[in-house]
Structure formats: structure tokens, C-alpha cells
Amino acid sequence: MNNKKRLITGNSNYKGFIENNGYFVDKTLLIKEIIDSSWQVLLIPRPRRFGKTLNLSMLRYFFDTNEKDTEKLFKDYKIWKAGEYYIQKQGKYPVIYLTFKDVITDNWQACLEHFEIDISELFTDNRYLLDSDLLSESEKQACNDIINGKASQSSYEKSLKNLCKYLSKYHKQNVVILIDEYDTPIHAGYQNKYYEKVISFMRNFLSGAFKDNDYLYKGVITGILRVSKESIFSGLNNLGIYTLLNYDFSDKFGFTEDETKEILKRFNLENKYTQVKQWYDGYIWGNIKNIYNPWSITSYIAKYKEGFNPHWVNTSSDELIKKRINERSIDYIKENIQTLVENKTIKKEINENIVFKDLDTNKELLWSLLTFSGYLNPVKNIKGKIYELCIPNYEIKTLFQDIIIEWLNINLQTGSSLVMNACYNLTSNKIEEFEKDFKTIMGDTLSYFNIAKEPERVFQSYILGLLAILGDDYIIKSDREAGLGRYDILLLPHNKTAYGILIEIKTLKKDATEKQIQTELQSALQQIAKNKYYKELIHAGINKRIEMAMVFTGKEVSMKSKTTNSILTQ
């Protein structure tokens, strides 16, 4: 690799990536791990845009005997230094490569047509087999029927196994089968009420190819979730499953810390590492800590002049997850998300084996869905299937803050403009205007939240949700140690000339007197000063700050603030 390597985003074709001089984070030792694995077939689920498609493309060009002169694509990378045993396997196997990433339809017939078209194209790419005497006339006719779209559904279901057999006989070598995004049609089937039909097709299609197949060398399947083995892979005793909780392959998807530092250095952005880490780091997969989101890293580098923004969370609608989160009658979801946004952890059972139809009856599966989709991080295994979960980084936190905003806006007739106006007034030190806006918002929305239990925490989550729209300009923190204690909320501006903001929250009983309220406000401001919560702002070079006390009496709020325009004694 050299300094002239280009940053290429959005290209998942390994050959095109390398030939166009793209900067490649070397994951070629995945090839060695696949070859060395005792499992003939491997299912490796990972969140979207963490390099699955590029890795499968890499495997394709390494193994495929039909791709000529591909040795040059690997000579500069780690696999070529792994030993002659691995080099000899380069370009030696026929490869079947299929992706189901675009099989997203709202009915079964359209889904089946997608399958038929994809399989037809696969057979068309290998129609040279029809010129061989190795296939019988009936086999050739079956192939032609698939190519011409005239085959029966059962023929398509058996097609993968049959093609594997034909390729192996022709090349006198067993076959590598690569399936990308295998669970995308299953997601669509579940959401659009044809789950049983798509499961039936996929079970016959995949199990036929991978179960007791004498013509198979290796199979690699990727997706987001591990769909229940009983649903699709029934009877497969040659299947090794490696989710993000397992140790093997844990550093082969996503960027490690060293890889992230290196790519930032290559593009002269190493001075941004601390902020990059805060925004896009945080994943712990298997025994590897500090896995970074590759899509977010490359997107940030490509648009670094625009500052830090959420990139990955904006690339998919994730309707399956949104549907579960927005079941607003389920209080436990709100309470747990409020806890997560406060930078705390929750303890949940994580089930690696997802049965989609169980999502309707088992509300706890939401946390497994969020974890394997990349929205929560399993930071610690407590016991058995119980894990401590947290939000991995600030980019993902913006999503959860937006969810809270969505909850807040349920009854908000004036819409998000009032929230935006309130946040502008706060950051502009127009405290009277902010207080007026804030009280209006509270009157419209707070009834949605149950403040009877842990009111201070509820108010804190409520305010964090309101402030979420400041995420482009501020790093929003809560419950962090600073100075001699833990502040409630801190807004750290990216622009060092802007106001840093500290908010301390207190609660009193509904019938508290005005004198009690004023005393509590003053006490909160004194707490900020005494514990020096502002030290983090000072260390970040922020000279202007707003120190604000909020006292809630039931659903009423009172505020008092202090503005400092120069560094106080540290």
C-alpha cells in the first residue's frame, strides 16, 4: 500500500476496488480462516455495511477458477505471506456467488420472481456447461428451462445443488458457494406476511446445496441475523455459526483500532482520532475490543470538511426495528431506552437464534435484534445468555435520541420547529426565551412519560431527547464524572467559540413553596461550582459556558442560570 491509494466508498467489488487503486484495509486473512476452519459451511452474520459483501467478493476472486489473472489482486496482501499451502488454492475452485440484497418485495409472487431471475442469471453465467458431454440431455434441458424462466418452483429450489454438481464434474474440483444477505428475503417475508412461503423456499434451496453435498468444498453465508437453524438449515451437521458474540472472525468485519488509526493517518486526519473514536468506535465482537464502523469511517473521511455526522444510521430504514421500538404502549421499551441514552447499561438475555414469528410474542427479542443489527453493544457477558448492553458510540446515540424526539412529538401540535427554536435560544444564551419554549413543549408532551417512578431520571432523559437535534454541533453527554462529581447533562460544542452548557436537574414535591424552589435552584448552581463540573469544558478549550439549574415540581419547571465568559480558577 502507498500514499497514492484512493479512498473509494460504496464499491463492494473486490477486483474493481483493487484495480482502481482503492485503499484496502487488509482483511485477506479471512481467506486463511475460512480454509483452516473445521466447518465445511460457515454462517457469519454481521450488521449491515460492515464489509460482508466486499469480503465475499474477495473470497470469490481468490478461489474462482473462471476468473483469470487474479493472482495480482492478492500479491500485496497478507494472504500471500501466509504460506504456499494457501497460495496454491488461489484460482483453483469453481465458485457460485449469489446475493439476495435486492430481494425486498411486498408479496410472495414478486419475491419468487426475484429468486427465479437471480438463479437464471447464475445459470446463464455458467452456460458453457451446456457445451459439455458431462451433462445428460435431460440435465441440459433443465438448465435451459431455468435460463429461459420456464422451470418449476421445485426446479429452482434444487438448482443450487444441481449447479454445484455440474460445475464440480466439469472442473474436476469441488465447489465454493458464497451466499450474501441470505436473510434479506426473510425479513421482507416476515414484514409482508409471506414468511412461511419464503422460509420453505430458502430451506429447500440452501439445505439442498449444503447438506450431504459431495461436490462442495466450502460454503460461506452472510446476513445480519442468525435465522433459526430449525427454520432453514434443518439437518445440517456441517454448519459452523459465528455471530458477533463468537471469537473466530471477530476482527475480519469492521475496522480494528489499529486499522482505523492507519487509515486516518493515510488521509492526514490523525488529529481527528479522538472525535472519530467517540463517534464511530465502541463495538466489542468476540474477544476484540474497539471495532469501528467502516461505512462511517470512510464516509467521514470522504466528507471530513462537513464535520462529524451520523452516516451509518441514515443508510437504512430498519422498519422491523422501528416497528418494535415504536410500540409505544410498552413502557419497558421507553424505560430501557431512556437508561441507554443516559450512557448506562441494561442487562438482557441475548438469543443468537432468531425465530421471526416469535418477535410477535416475545418482547425481549427486541434486544437481540438491536444487538445483532449493530445498535447495541454486548460489553460484558454476565452469565449464560445474559449480557450487559450499551449504546456503542455517539452516532448510534443520535438514533436513540431521535426516537425519544419522536415520542415527544406524538402530541406536539407545533411540531419540531418549537423544539429547534428552544434549542437555538438555549445555545444562544437567550435563557428567558428558552424557558418559555421549554414550558410550552412540556405542556404538550410530558403527559406521555410516567414520572411517578424515578422522576429525576425521567426528566433527564426527556431533556436529552429534546437536545438530540443539537448533535451536529455539540457532543451531548450525561452522568459523566467531571471535577469532583457527576454532572447531569453537558453540551460540549465543536466550535470552541460557542457556549458550553451544564445542566443540573433537581426535583421537589408538587406542593413545594417558591422559597423552597429558589433555594433548590441556588443549591444546584452551587453544586456545579463546588464540584467543578465545568473542568471538561475548560480542558476542551471552551471559555464561554452556561451553568443552568432546573427544578421540577411535578410537571412544572423553574430555571436559574449563570453565564461565564472566561476561564475560572480550575
Give the model's pLDDT for residue 505: 92
pLDDT for 435 beyond 80 = yes
Please report the pLDDT score of residue 235 as a whole number. Answer: 75
- The rounded Cα 570 to chain-centroid distance in angstroms is 40
Which sequence spans correspond to the domains of the chain? Answer: 27-106+174-241, 257-314, 319-394, 412-564
User: CB of 309 within 8 A of CB of 275?
Assistant: no
Output DSSP code: residue 250. Answer: T
Structural contact between residues 389 and 371, judged by C-beta atoms closer than 8 angstroms: yes
CA distance readout (Å), 330 to 263, 334, 410, 449, 455: 43, 7, 15, 12, 18
Say what percent of the chain tops pLDDT 70.
Answer: 90
pLDDT in tens, 86-134: 999 999 999 999 999 999 999 999 999 999 999 999 999 999 999 999 9
pLDDT over 60 at 569, yes or no: no
- The tens digit of pLDDT for each residue in 377-388 reads 999 999 999 999
Which of the two residues, 124 and 462, has the higher pLDDT score? Answer: 124
pLDDT of residue 302: 95
| Residue 205: band (very low, low, confident or very high) from pLDDT cuts 50, 70, 90 | very high
Tell me what pLDDT residue 418 has. Answer: 80
How many angstroms separate the CA atoms of 79 and 14, rounded?
Answer: 15
What class does CATH assign to 27-106+174-241?
A: alpha beta
Q: Please give the pLDDT value at position 125.
A: 96
What are the DSSP E strand ranges found in 189-342? 216-223, 239-241, 283-285, 288-291
Q: Does the pLDDT of residue 391 top 70, yes or no? A: yes
pLDDT at 43 over 60: yes
The residue with greater pLDDT, 203 or 409, is 203
**Average pLDDT rounded to a whole number, residues 262-284:** 93
In the predicted structure, residue 450 carries a pLDDT above the cut 70: no
Q: Is the pLDDT of residue 501 over 60?
A: yes
pLDDT at 408 over 70: no
User: Beta strand pairing status for 485-486 and 481-482?
Assistant: antiparallel
pLDDT at residue 446 greater than cutoff 60: no
pLDDT band at 559 (very low <50, low <70, confident <90, very high): very high
| Mean pLDDT to the nearest integer, 328-355 | 79
pLDDT tens per residue across span 139-157: 999 999 999 999 999 999 9
Cα separation, 389 vs 368, whole angstroms:
10
The mean predicted confidence, pLDDT, of the chain is: 88
Residue with more model confidence, 565 or 436? 436
Predicted pLDDT of residue 448:
45
Question: Which ranges in 24-75 belong to alpha helices (H)?
Answer: 29-36, 52-63
* pLDDT score of 470: 80
Winning range, highest mean pLDDT, from 105-114, 330-339, 363-372:
105-114
Q: Is 502 left (phi over 0), alpha (psi -120 to 50) or beta?
A: beta
Confidence of residue 2 (pLDDT cuts 50, 70, 90): very low
pLDDT score at 482 = 56
